[in-house]
Amino acid sequence: MSSRFVVGIDLGTTNSALAYVDTGAGKDAKVTPFPIPQVVAQGSVEDRPLLPSFLYLPGDGEQPAGAMKLPWDAKRDYCVGEFARAFGSQVPTRLVASAKSWLCHPGVDRKAQILPHRAPDTGARKVSPVDATTRYLKHIAEAWNHVIAKDVAANRLEAQDIVLTVPASFDAGARELTVEAARAAGFEHLTLLEEPQAAFYAWLDRTGDEWRKQVSVGELVLVADVGGGTTDFTLIEVGEEDGNLALTRLAVGDHLLLGGDNMDLTLAHHAAQTLAAKGTKLDAGQMVQLTYACRNAKEELFARPKLQSAPVTVLGKGRSIVGGTIKHELTRADVEKVLVDGFFPDCARDAMPGLGRSSGLQELGLPYVADAGITRHLASFLSRQAEALASREAPAAANKKKKATSDAASIPGAILFNGGVFKGDVLRTRMLNVLGSWAKSAKTDPTRDLPGADLDLAVARGAAYYGLVKRGKGVRIRGGTARAYYIGVETNMPAVPGFAPPIKAICVAPFGMEEGTEADIPSYEVGVRVGTEAEFRFLGSTVRRDDGAGVVVEEWEGQIDELSPVKTTLEAKGAAAGGQVVPVHLHSKVTAVGQLELWLQSRDGKNRWKLEFNAREGK
């Protein structure tokens, strides 16, 4: 039986949000944002449209009794949301931030207590990225149950159909861990949805049938999603089916840890240089405070276009400024120059992002991209997709149907902006100008801006709308898996000193494999070692769209990328002894939730093993 409410949750790197549809309202049912109650100051709880994705873990005696109490928990000893972000910025070793980025980091144990990242190893409260994510979701559930469910069990959030969003570029392992955190928060009726698709669904909901007049058959729509911690690019094609417009998600970009956080840090360094020139040098703790202060100033300037500057303050330290504060004015001119030129540089259509840092030793942490130029990353994304996109039929131009050239094929006809970063008009304008210059060089029409986006709440609103789509109401975007998935199989060949056997990539899930479908590959048999630890290499591709299940790719570098490997010990079953190699064939399934499962099935059909994607440790 379907739940009364359909709920969309945007689990963001910097902010989270919730929207819902009350299907019991009949014809008046509509997507409605849910203001989330949270601690905003010591002992003060207020509703806010967004829940900052920050977790504050205070030390003993750091907060007075009742400072973090909630209407549903008077003894809460940690804090999620606005107060966590504001006060936690003063004590960064007790503030968990960017948990979502850590959740998809294959180089760490994402179930280990490693956050806050800079907290000391002993004597500090720590949680895992999965735990932090669970606490955000639990807070949302508790707030919902307090405000809407009250004492009606059927209305509790845990009983509703929930659509939880993830970056389009999340691999199967990161999706698995996200589902694990959601299950720990009590969510059972769960579906995953890519964030850029959710933003587009929100646009469809807001525009109604008018969307059909704003796009045309054969056109590509670019969803540019630049949030607090990540940048996501998605291409959606407008097609035609039985005389009606149809939408298909064609491509997604790489997972880029690049967004508003990088911009805030850049503004902080710019302000620190100005202060240093005046004789005030900040220490590491003050730089963290300055970064958060610059974020607030930036958001205020974006929200108030006529404002020319915003104050930035940092708590003072040292003999010369005992009891005082350090003050600075962040001007609109400085913000626009630093962010536009630094993050949205004017670049050529064939530009490529800069390579990784060259230092031999680097501090361990999140795998941030080396190049901050978002437009260069976009150029690389479109160039990589150009060959596959050129096979599409181009839209009619000057009443002449023709095959799209490789250059013009990858230039989007329209762009939908999403993410708080694009609240800055100047940033949207620069992005459109860069796309316009690429279109001119490709001799095609310039990219249009699709109006009507809700930059803060679009993802949550679109997720709720998608919940209705699943019930047969609304317009559906076809997509399936965002990449083709492969498993690496070691080539059987004689040992050669100094050379590892080549790895073949076997396609186990084709690009666009739909939820609820399965693929059996009995024709390709491989040997799997049981009873002892082994590493399974997973690979993926966003450009190889024609590989079916079972296709073997021998020369795959450049088009297929390595994902997080899985180290596990498969149980020795039946007559198979430990360390023995058992003949198996592969069977894959995309669940209704959107998770990819891979099974190894024995030749006699009596035994099967499931490979779990939520690897504890990557390479």
Tens of pLDDT, residues 544-565: 888 999 999 999 988 898 887 8
Q: What is the pLDDT of residue 475?
A: 92
Q: What amino acid is encoded at 374 in this protein?
A: I
Q: What is the pLDDT of residue 402?
A: 40
Strands (DSSP E) along 229-359, which ranges?
231-241, 244-252, 309-315, 325-331
C-alpha of 13 from chain center: 8
Using CA atoms, how far apart are residues 125 and 135, in angstroms rounded to an integer? 14
What DSSP string runs through 582-605?
Answer: EEEEEEEEE-TTS-EEEEEEETTS
Which one has a higher pLDDT value, 413 or 288? 413
Among the ranges given (49-53, 77-81, 398-402, 410-414), the one the predictor scored with the smallest mean pLDDT = 398-402
Among the ranges given (21-30, 136-145, 315-324), the one the predictor scored with the smallest mean pLDDT = 315-324
Instruction: Please say if the pLDDT value at position 414 is more than 80.
Output: yes
Q: What is the pLDDT of residue 241?
A: 87
Q: What is the pLDDT of residue 522?
A: 86
Q: Chain-wide mean pLDDT for the chain? A: 88
Q: What is the pLDDT of residue 394?
A: 45
pLDDT digits (tens, 9 = 90+) for 343-382: 999 999 999 998 765 555 555 567 788 999 999 999 999 9
| Distant-in-sequence, close-in-space partners of 450: CB < 8 Å, separation ≥ 6 | 203, 214, 215, 221, 414, 415, 416
Q: Are 614 and 596 in contact (CB under 8 A)?
A: no
Which range has the top average pLDDT, 59-73, 362-376, 469-483, 582-596? 59-73
Q: What is the pLDDT of residue 20?
A: 98
Coil, helix or strand at residue 141: helix
Using CA atoms, how far apart are residues 543 and 114, in angstroms rounded to an integer? 35
> What is the residue extent of each domain of the chain?
5-192, 260-343, 484-611
Count of other CB atoms within 10 angstroms of residue 160: 25
Q: What is the pLDDT of residue 320?
A: 47
Q: What is the pLDDT of residue 618?
A: 33
Q: What is the pLDDT of residue 212?
A: 92
The model's confidence at residue 614, banded by pLDDT at 50, 70 and 90, is very low
Q: Are 365 and 306 in contact (CB under 8 A)?
A: no
Q: What amino acid is encoded at 11 in this protein?
A: L
Burial of 85 (0-12, 13-18, 19+ CB in 10 A): buried
Instruction: Please say if the pLDDT value at position 324 is more than 80.
Output: no
The string over 492-522, giving b where at least 16 C-beta atoms fall within 10 Å of a residue's C-beta and e elsewhere, is: eeeeeeeeeeebbbbbbbbbbbebeeebebe
* Interval 107-125 mean pLDDT: 88
Q: What is the pLDDT of residue 118?
A: 79
φ, ψ dihedrals at 10, nearest 5°: -95, 105
Q: What is the pLDDT of residue 576?
A: 64
Q: What is the pLDDT of residue 380?
A: 94
Q: What is the pLDDT of residue 104?
A: 85
Strands (DSSP E) along 496-558, which ranges?
503-509, 518-529, 533-536, 538-541, 552-553
Using CA atoms, how far apart are residues 435 and 414, in angstroms rounded to an integer? 10
pLDDT digits (tens, 9 = 90+) for 529-543: 888 888 888 898 988
Helix 425-441 × helix 332-343 angle, to 10°? 30
Using CA atoms, how far apart are residues 103 and 11, in angstroms rounded to an integer? 12
Mode of pairing for the β-strands spanning 231-241 and 31-33: unpaired
Q: What is the pLDDT of residue 76?
A: 95
Using CA atoms, how far apart are residues 474 and 468, in angstroms rounded to an integer? 7
Enter the tokens of residue 185: 């928060």
Among the ranges given (84-88, 167-171, 416-420, 459-463), the one the predictor scored with the smallest mean pLDDT = 167-171
Reported residue count of the chain is 619
Nearest to 528 by CA among 572, 493, 561, 563: 572
Q: Percent of the chain having pLDDT more than 70?
A: 92
Q: What is the pLDDT of residue 318?
A: 55
Enter the tokens of residue 340: 């536009």
Q: Please give the CATH number for the structural domain made up of 260-343.
A: 3.90.640.10
What DSSP string runs through 359-417?
Answer: -S----S----S---HHHHHHHHHHHHHHHHTTSBPPPBTTB--BPPHHHHTS-SEEEE
* Interval 410-424 mean pLDDT: 93
Coil, helix or strand at residue 234: strand
The model's confidence at residue 340, banded by pLDDT at 50, 70 and 90, is very high
- In the CATH hierarchy, which fold is given to the domain comprising 5-192? Nucleotidyltransferase; domain 5 (3.30.420)
The model's confidence at residue 395, banded by pLDDT at 50, 70 and 90, is very low
Mode of pairing for the β-strands spanning 244-252 and 36-41: unpaired
Mode of pairing for the β-strands spanning 220-226 and 231-241: antiparallel
Q: What is the pLDDT of residue 41?
A: 96
Torsion of Cα atoms, 266 then 267 then 268 then 273, to 10°: 90
Enter the tokens of residue 464: 């709720």
Using CA atoms, how far apart are residues 476 and 212, in angstroms rounded to an integer? 13
Q: What is the pLDDT of residue 398?
A: 36
